Structure 1
């Protein structure tokens, strides 16, 4: 069955490029795609209002243009990045007089594609805004997130009704492999960087000089300094002070023991432990405190992306794409400035091996970068992460490592063994083409929605 879909486009660079790639994949699946370009519609209104004295508001203009597009084309579904497709359009009153999204009033299903966790998006306002959370928790809205742990939090803590954990995908035409031998690449290693890297501590800088950095020592050092900030975060939590402190210590101890465990599972375990139970129960009802506490505790691991690439760069030629947040680190290799999404493949292909390390916004799931690199024909070296095995077969389609020196050994294996490097690259690319294109992913979404 052919569907008609509206893609609600926003201003931006990479995020808009990803949405455009998704829409092209939907078209390849045989569906009809319309593009409702919010910046263009706003510019259209501004031009019109500049030419005459029409009293129509921008809100009315957006409403009329969207209604005209949706109704005249018998649209089945709309898609937007984050909550822009909802909040970027006017809200209306339903029959009961409540403010609801335009999609709900129209009875039009809308996909909200969260490429960043809702805990962090929209200026971090959603957890503390009950009316906004209620607006987004519409029966017409389906929330897509690549993280199974985030999906569990949205369903379990936020009580959102339609949450669909779905892995990222790529437009295979945007990420073709390089022509020729991978030995001809300029750099041994390439990584796409992004904002969010913390500055190094003195201990991190010392450990970078070691052949076998003591990751556990760094994490313990960070954990000691996180206790007081975490206790302060819970000061207003509706629980006794001793319970709050015991909860913080229990959660820190659990994360120290298992950096890849689920926060909700940790919280459930803490709720069974004596005095921490009261604070654990209260925390599930205080979304702002929960968000702030988890973001702070994840500082035990959010340094790994910067640390690992700097460590590897001591041993091989390295290219980091995106000149963000490595300034404080002793990184002395090459940096390429951020490029438009459609040009990213050219940068990836400058390396023999692609590196991906998550930045710990959440507990599980894989970002889009390893799919892009694998599609470009690069063998991917992936920092340990829960959920990787759902996307790639370990050791056949991707190499995953835990400790930096283990990652270096696997990297050197790839660099010195062209046959192994090419086999991993070919298997990874084949998996992407088979299962992780936007065409394939949209078929999964349609099936999950029962359309």
Structure 2
């Protein structure tokens, strides 16, 4: 770890680096941001530790404990005050230790009095097959030294209610402006495409939505109604193994129907908020489902089929009316051309790929109902004009019309793409303003300041003060 004099805050940060693509990119950006802030920061590679434990066979517990002892000695020697990881990495990787305050089992860092910041890019139910929703993991992650960060206030409220975690806060993602920089050469050239989109999960359009691809102004509510029967069938498959009596099973069906009807009427409102507003008729059923986190999150996953088509439908629709370059996965899955053989776009190439279009499109996945994923910040970092599907919270991060264009339907999307393609000065100005806004408000330095300030205990209260 860097031996420079400690900054006034006294923070000594250890960032746990996991193997991966995007999550590793974020963690490296945070570590670099910490150094630029004058924070003493080090990194630990988890991959070799995981590999050693896996290869140890029947001796895996001993190897894990040995790694934990070495890491404990390191933390004591370096007087680490804060650890930051992606999801629950680092909580269970080094065995359990007794918490000095309660005597109950705790992860290594919590047992040492170190504040552990857990960055969740999505709801905790997706990671490691939903282990965070099961006991005893759910309770262990609720340790007061654990500080969870998710992308929206709605998601934070949902997690506090369903999982019972006290320290959950909303925070947008960020970007390292020095890791993704505008490709000035590419931006100076005539764009290859009217628009680009980078998505690693391109998928076929549901067959029942194919007729809407030919419409110049597809009705969003009509498309949701077209997906309604399949969505309710998926909900029924989720509920069936619960073993409910006939009356409660019927109430569950009624709840799902009510939530779908509410979402069709308010397509931009997250299911959590819609559920809270359904009234006394469904109170008992909602309480029953929310009492079991696995039930709640699997049911929510099924309900997202009502809107999950948007991420794939709109690129397919636009690609039939404009030159859309789909990168990161095969565009042929959506009936469009494959770019670069559908290969994954490396982080170092993102700015150049985005610059191949006069603008860049972003559409959140269905489960990202509110808040900011990393995509808006990556597009802005590249200095390319951002064209975003409407998402609650987006207008707080970027000024519509100046730093981005927000759209809700096909004609708005097509108009934005055509305007930016036709007006070079407009798209350059918007891309530059978006990047300037990122530098001003959305770097990992900004986010790290938020995370450190939100930790329940200051560094001076740790075991190493």
Rounded Cα–Cα distance in structure 2 between residues aligned with 1:290 and 1:358: 21
Q: 88, 93, 109: which is aligned to 1:103?
A: 109
Which moved further from structure 2: 349-358 or 240-249? 240-249
Q: 298, 305, 318: which is aligned to 1:292?
A: 298
Q: Does 1:112 align with 2:126?
A: no
Asked if the contact 1:254–1:266 (Cα under 8 Å) also holds between the matched residues in 2, the reply is yes
Q: Does 1:139 align with 2:147?
A: no
Aligned position for 1:316: 322
Unaligned runs of 5+ in 1: none
In structure 2, the CA distance between the partners of 1:158 and 1:207, relative to structure 1 (3 Å rule), is same
Asked if the contact 1:18–1:341 (Cα under 8 Å) also holds between the matched residues in 2, the reply is no
Rounded Cα–Cα distance in structure 2 between residues aligned with 1:23 and 1:55: 30
Q: Does 1:201 align with 2:206?
A: yes
Aligned position for 2:309: 303
5 Å-filtered alignment, 1:395-406, equals 395-406=401-412
Rounded Cα–Cα distance in structure 2 between residues aligned with 1:268 and 1:318: 39
Asked if the contact 1:170–1:436 (Cα under 8 Å) also holds between the matched residues in 2, the reply is yes
Q: Shift in Å at residue 112 of structure 1?
A: 0.7
Which moved further from structure 2: 331-340 or 3-12? 331-340
Kindly provide the CA deviation profile for residues 237-275 of structure 1, in whole angstroms up to 9, marking residues without a partner as x.
586233222212111111111122132222222242x3x
Rounded Cα–Cα distance in structure 2 between residues aligned with 1:248 and 1:394: 34
Aligned position for 1:173: 178
SS at match of 2:335: coil
Q: Shift in Å at residue 202 of structure 1?
A: 2.7
Rounded Cα–Cα distance in structure 2 between residues aligned with 1:384 and 1:185: 25
Asked if the contact 1:17–1:342 (Cα under 8 Å) also holds between the matched residues in 2, the reply is no
Q: 153, 157, 164: which is aligned to 1:152?
A: 157
SS at match of 2:184: coil
SS at match of 2:174: coil
Q: Does 1:39 align with 2:44?
A: no
Q: Shift in Å at residue 296 of structure 1?
A: 1.1
Q: 391, 408, 415: which is aligned to 1:385?
A: 391
Asked if the contact 2:180–2:347 (Cα under 8 Å) also holds between the matched residues in 1, the reply is no
Aligned position for 1:428: 434
Asked if the contact 2:160–2:168 (Cα under 8 Å) also holds between the matched residues in 1, the reply is yes
Aligned position for 2:346: 340
Q: TM-score scaled by structure 2?
A: 0.89
Rounded Cα–Cα distance in structure 1 between residues aligned with 2:49 and 2:212: 53
Q: Does 1:210 align with 2:215?
A: yes
Rounded Cα–Cα distance in structure 2 between residues aligned with 1:163 and 1:42: 27
Rounded Cα–Cα distance in structure 1 between residues aligned with 2:239 and 2:279: 15
5 Å-filtered alignment, 1:230-245, equals 230-235=235-240, 236=242, 240-245=248-253
Q: 329, 337, 347: which is aligned to 2:334?
A: 329
Q: What is the root-mean-square deviation in Å for CA atoms of aligned residues?
A: 2.4
In structure 2, the CA distance between the partners of 1:229 and 1:346, relative to structure 1 (3 Å rule), is same
In structure 2, the CA distance between the partners of 1:284 and 1:44, relative to structure 1 (3 Å rule), is closer
Q: Shift in Å at residue 370 of structure 1?
A: 1.3
SS at match of 1:240: helix
Aligned position for 2:97: 92
Q: Shift in Å at residue 108 of structure 1?
A: 0.5
Q: Shift in Å at residue 115 of structure 1?
A: 1.5
Asked if the contact 1:198–1:302 (Cα under 8 Å) also holds between the matched residues in 2, the reply is no
Asked if the contact 2:54–2:60 (Cα under 8 Å) also holds between the matched residues in 1, the reply is no
Q: Shift in Å at residue 207 of structure 1?
A: 1.5
In structure 2, the CA distance between the partners of 1:198 and 1:251, relative to structure 1 (3 Å rule), is farther
Asked if the contact 2:196–2:356 (Cα under 8 Å) also holds between the matched residues in 1, the reply is yes
